[in-house]
Chains A and B, each alone.
Chain A
Amino acid sequence: MRVCLWGTRGSIASAGPDTVEYGGNTACAEVEGRDGSIVILDAGTGVRRVGDTYGEPRRLDILLTHLHMDHIQGLGFFAPFFQKDFEIHVWGPPSATLDLRTRLTRYLSPPLFPIRLRDVAARLELHDAPMGEFEIGGLRVTSEMVIHPGPTVGYRVTDGVSTMAYMPDHEPALSTEGREPAPEWTSGYDLAAGVDLLLHDAQYTAAEYADRVGWGHSRIDDAVDLTRMARARRLVTFHHDPAHDDAELDAMLAVAREMAADEFEVLPGREGATFEL
Chain B
Amino acid sequence: MPQRDIGLILMRQLADGLAVPMLLADENGDLLFFNEAAEQLLGQRFDDVGELDLLARRRIFSFRDADDSPLPDDQAPLVVALREHRPVHRRVAMRGLDGRDHEVEVTAFPLLGGGGHLIGGVAMFWERKKQA
A residues apposed to B, CB below 8 Å? 93-94, 96, 130-131, 144-147, 151, 174-175, 177-179, 183-190
CA distance A205 to B3 in the complex (A): 26
Min Cβ gap A141→B in Å is 16
Q: Does B132 contact A (CB under 8 A)?
A: no
User: Is the Cβ of A131 less than 8 Å from the Cβ of B114?
Assistant: yes
Per a CB cutoff under 8 Å, which of A93, A94, A151, A183 touches B3?
Answer: A183
Place the interface of chain B in its size category. 10 to 19
Of residues 1 through 52 on chain B, the ones whose CB sits less than 8 Å from some CB of chain A are 1-7, 9-10, 12-13, 16
Given contacts A186-B3, A187-B6, whether A145 and B113 have CB atoms under 8 Å apart is yes
Taking CB atoms, residues of chain A closer than 8 Å to B115 are 94, 130-131
Q: Residue B13 contacts which of A96, A145, A146, A175 (CB distance < 8 angstroms)?
A: A175
**Known: A94-B115, A131-B115, A151-B114. Contact between A174 and B13, CB under 8 A?**
yes
CB of B116 within 8 Å of the partner chain:
yes
Given A93-B114, A94-B115, A131-B115, also A178-B2 (CB < 8 A) = no
The A interface is mostly helix, strand or loop, or mixed, namely loop
- Give the distance in Å from the alpha carbon of A190 to the alpha carbon of B9 in the complex: 13
B16 close to A187 (CB less than 8 A): no
C-alpha spacing A175/B14, complex, angstroms: 10
Nearest opposing residue in chain A for B33, CB measure = A185
Q: How far is the CA of A93 from the CA of B16 in the complex (A)?
A: 28
Cβ contacts under 8 Å, A175 to chain B: 9-10, 13
User: Which of B2, B16, B114 lies in contact with A145, CB distance below 8 A?
Assistant: B114
Q: Are B2 and A147 in contact (CB under 8 A)?
A: no
Which residues of A are found within 8 Å of B10, using beta-carbon distances?
147, 174-175
Distance of A194 from chain B, by nearest CB (Å)? 13
Contact of B6 among A130, A144, A177 (CB under 8 A): A144
